[in-house]
Amino acid sequence: MKEKLARFGVDYASKILGLSEIEVHFKPQKFFKCNQTNASFLSDGYYIVISTDWLETANELDILKCSFHETRHAYQRACIDYPEIIYHDPKVVEIWHKDFEDYKRPGHDHYLNQEIEKDAIAFSDRLIEDIIDRANKKGDNNGKSINGF
């Protein structure tokens, strides 16, 4: 169920961002270079890897946030790699490019200061708010409709 939710999150965010065919893979925590990383977008194959160890204990909201966040990184990278297909403000894309080139992993003092992280966090928060707003408009004040797919 949690893997299905993670895939749903990536598909949902991909559709909003105009991306297609972003694969989701699940690997044990030892796959990741940093113990504080629970998921990662890998640009060499344009796919997202999520820790199965983290997934076991993560709640549904965190799984969606993570899926949205990593999908935004896929979008950021696509804006760098394919500007003729996916347009975003070139000044912003240049900043993203610099961040990707000198990426600071979770746990680094400047991790949250990177524009790619600020943007991905803001994007995932915005999507969560949108889902909650839609659930509330449907009369589901507990957000239960998020789990009903």
Q: What is the residue type of 44?
A: D
Q: What is the pLDDT of residues 27-55, one digit of tens each?
A: 999 999 888 889 999 999 999 999 999 99
Distance separating alpha carbons of residues 143 and 118, to the nearest angstrom: 25
Q: What is the pLDDT of residues 67-122, one digit of tens each?
A: 999 999 999 999 999 999 999 999 999 999 999 998 887 777 787 789 999 999 99
Using the predicted structure, report yes or no on whether residue 143 has a pLDDT greater than 60.
no
Question: 1.10.1760, 3.30.450, 3.30.2010, 1.20.1300: which CATH number matches 2-129?
Answer: 3.30.2010
Largest CA distance in the chain: 45
Distance separating alpha carbons of residues 51 and 61, to the nearest angstrom: 16
Residue 103: what pLDDT? 84
Torsion sign, CA atoms 75, 79, 81, 83? positive
Residue 35: what pLDDT? 83
